[in-house]
Structure 1
Amino acid sequence: MSIDVLIIAGNARSLVANRGDLIRDMLSVGLLVAAAVPIADYLTEVEELGIQIHPINMGRTGVNPLQDLLTLLSLRKLIMQVKPKVVFGYTVKAVVYGSLAAKSAGVPRIYSMITGLGHVFTTDSAKTRRLRRIISVLYLAGLACNHKVFFQNPDDRQEFIDRGILRYPEKSVRIYGSGVDMQHFARKPLPEGPMVFLFIGRLLIEKGIAEFCEAARVVSADFPQARFIAVGPLDPKLPHACTQEDLECWKAQGVVEFVGGVKDVRPWIERCSVFVLPSYREGTPRSVLEAMSMGRAIITSDAPGCRETVVEGENGFLVEPRQSVPLADAMRIFLEQPALVLRMSEASRQLVERYYDVHKVNKGILEVMELA
């Protein structure tokens, strides 16, 4: 058996949500595609993508030498079995061990996508500094095997060059995130009634959920009619997840409405006026692109990955990360000048049309891979 492309996924959810459109575009040009998906968080939805699925043992977080060696060997065995012409990995372990396995198995072309640097690069403790050194070395080894490396924002690319992780900058290719399906996330009219600020994301410290809740608490004292909604799951197994105690405390304040995880975020985006993501760092935040595509003004962080989605004062505002006061100030601007919401919502949709249409993004990726 021989296939055209083997995608090595970091987790099942992201293969469906973030790579589904890319897979469909690959299939539309006649490519035979397969994906290696970690068993730990396997979802049956991946079987609906119309490609071969190969479950593998690959931990999502942590560095366990024995487990990682087994991951490398199992990936090499799979690659030798399916004989892909191209291997494409994303997230740390998929990039590192997928690239090394592909190189050792003699795969002609190897590509990786850096979808963000994660909590190891956004926090600074003795533990994360040690992990950062280890991960940097692993990245260096893995990316040395690559023909091209896709970066979703220029800050991540520059950091890899500055740290000596990417030895040959000419291998790098800048893309506009994973793109967004503008038909699926179609433009919707703004809601009537009180202004609604919406956060969508996992309840992680680095997503800025604490700053969102604190800003909401402060702003609600002056604008009690405003609503604040947080959509997303609490997964205590993830590094830097908020604690259950944090969540209960925020709920007790009675300001932010917590919805939990949902399968379809569109109804929630439709009922919001302004989308808010005060994240500390992203690749390119998909949730922001989805909100922009549906025509929503944005407040997000002046941080890598986030800052690329906002033209300051045109489709939203950039705020200092890790601080609730600038976030509250930006919310107040919208509440005091509600006409801005409509103007900026139109600008958001235009920016998506110009840069982030998923089919434009995917066409660029396939051309670089020589698959278009």
Structure 2
Amino acid sequence: MSKGKAFIVSNLDTFFLANRKEQAQVMREKGYEVHVLAADTGRSGDITKMGFVYHELPMARYSLNPFLSLKSIRDIRRIYQKESPVVIHHLGLKVIMLGTLAAMKTGAAVFNTYTGLGYLFTIDTPKTKFFRSVLFMFSKWLYSRKRVVAIFQNMTDFNLFKKHNTIDDTNGFVIRGCGVNTEEYRYAPMPDQQPLKIILPGKMLSSKGIYDFVEVAKAIKNDKTISQEVEFMLCGGIEEGHPFSAKKEEIEHWHNQGWVNWAGFQKDMLAMYTNADIVMLPSWREGMPKGLLEAGSVGRPIITYDVAGCSEAVEDGVSGYVVPFGDVKLLTERTRQLIVDRDLRVKMGENSRQYVLRHFETYKIIEENLALYNKFL
């Protein structure tokens, strides 16, 4: 029996495919007609081949132009009014803000997953502080409405919104990311290789910690007490137009100096994790970093900062190390400990796998989302 139409709304088609396709498949099995609303980067055909209905998302990703935003709200509303969904699930801050306004008076239950709070909450400037205050005021009004639900991927973000009285325990919930397909990302034995490989999975943004990663690489390569040859690899593409994007010339300079190699965007990250010995993400802030969970599922020790999202992806001292934000010296020391002790890498990698199985298996996460739908339908 059909449960009606359900929309999953994402900024990009690639984000949906990487993070929500399994959920969409389960929703279809449960009786929903699944529609995907996302910007087309060339992968929308993959969505339709899976049997989902695809709609182009009319939204300028980085623009703060209010007139463009109003046009986006109007265009999204037309799609919602035409299709009459019973469930609308928005992913990401800007999609949430525009999509929820567009969804008003549709009669749908609206679920908003904050996949990360972005640069507004990463740096403190008069501009970001102003927009944060606007966001909290807007959110308080937004979540005063019936059947509009906030979903956070970590406790830090949940507590932040709760502190500002934008949500409470009746309309705000924590679902820790979108999970990992642990059958696809199977445990792989630790490599026994030279050079030892340390990778950073993420876009080439300063907010992903790439500059600290390079500083660690320089320090390790200059440490004469380390006998192993070590390769540091950046795995991610450049995001043009992003305020924190690194320049290609910078990355090429790091490579030419012999500090790091750059693999660029990798479609097959499973192969990258399998061939790595250590995975590091000294990010400034995340929702729930799927790259770290995938690495953990494969059985790799993780090093990250004690920031929103990242700290919940690791058991400090058990499956890896959580380092105080910005402490590059300790970040380097933790990296050194894992480089020189293969047994420690193996043990922490095994613990990573078990931690992911307990808390982040994708179908457990999907069931949490579906249970929340049922609660408000």
TM-score (normalizing by structure 2):
0.93
1:100 corresponds to: 101
1:55 equivalenced with 2:21 (yes/no)? no
Aligned twin of 1:209: 210
Asked if the contact 1:2–1:82 (Cα under 8 Å) also holds between the matched residues in 2, the reply is no
1:66 equivalenced with 2:67 (yes/no): yes
**Corresponding residue of 1:152:** 153
Within 5 A, what are the aligned runs for 1:277-288?
A: 277-288=281-292
Higher mean Cα deviation, 84-93 or 238-247? Answer: 238-247
Q: Determine the structure 2 residue equivalent to 1:305.
A: 309
Whether contact under 8 Å (2:304, 2:311) holds in the other structure is yes
Question: Is the contact made by 2:279 and 2:292 (CA closer than 8 Å) also made in structure 1?
Answer: yes
CA contact (8 A) 1:231 1:260 kept: yes
Root mean square deviation of aligned Cα = 1.9
**Residue 246 and residue 142 in structure 1: after superposition, are their counterparts in 2 closer, same or farther (change >3 A)?**
farther
Q: What is the match of residue 43 of structure 1?
A: 43
Give 3-state SS (helix, strand or coil) of 1:87's partner. strand
* Residues 37, 54 of structure 1: 8 Å contact kept: yes
Matched, 1:318 2:319: no
Q: Deviations over 1:181-208 (max 9, x none)?
A: 0111111111112322111100101100
Paired AA for residue 68 in structure 1: S
1:321 alignment partner AA = F
Q: 1:242 aligns with which of 241, 246, 249?
A: 246
* Alignment correspondent of 1:114: 114
The Cα shift of 1:332 comes to 0.8
CA distance in 1, matches of 2:176, 2:200: 22
Q: Quick one: which of 341, 347, 357 aligns to 1:343?
A: 347
Offset at 1:66?
Answer: 0.8
Residue pair 2:235, 2:264 contacting (<8 A) in 1 also: yes
Tell me which residue corresponds to 1:228. 232
Q: Identity of aligned pairs, percent?
A: 27
2:170 is paired with a residue whose SS is helix
Preserved CA contact (<8 Å) 1:179 1:359 = yes
Alpha-carbon separation, structure 1, partners of 2:139 and 2:98: 9
What does the per-residue CA deviation read over 1:86-112, in whole Å, with 9 as the maximum and x for residues that have no partner? 1111111221222222222232x1111
Q: Distance in 2 between matches of 1:318 and 1:2?
A: 43
Q: Deviations over 1:116-150 (max 9, x none)?
A: 11111011122322332333344334444444321
Structure 2 SS opposite 1:370 = helix
Which 5+ residue runs of structure 1 have no aligned equivalent?
Answer: none
Distance of 1:236 and 1:119 partners within structure 2: 15
Deviations 1:273-305 (A, max 9, x none): 111111111000000010011111110111110
User: Is the CA contact 1:2–1:83 (under 8 Å) kept in the aligned structure 2?
Assistant: no
Shift of 1:359: 0.3
- Range moving further from structure 2, 109-118 or 278-287: 109-118
Task: Identify the residue that residue 170 of structure 1 maps to in structure 2.
Answer: 170
Deviates more, 1:27-36 or 1:195-204: 27-36
Q: Identify which range, 330-339 or 311-320, moves more after superposition.
A: 330-339
Structure 2 unmatched runs, 5+: none
* CA shift for structure 1 position 42: 5.3
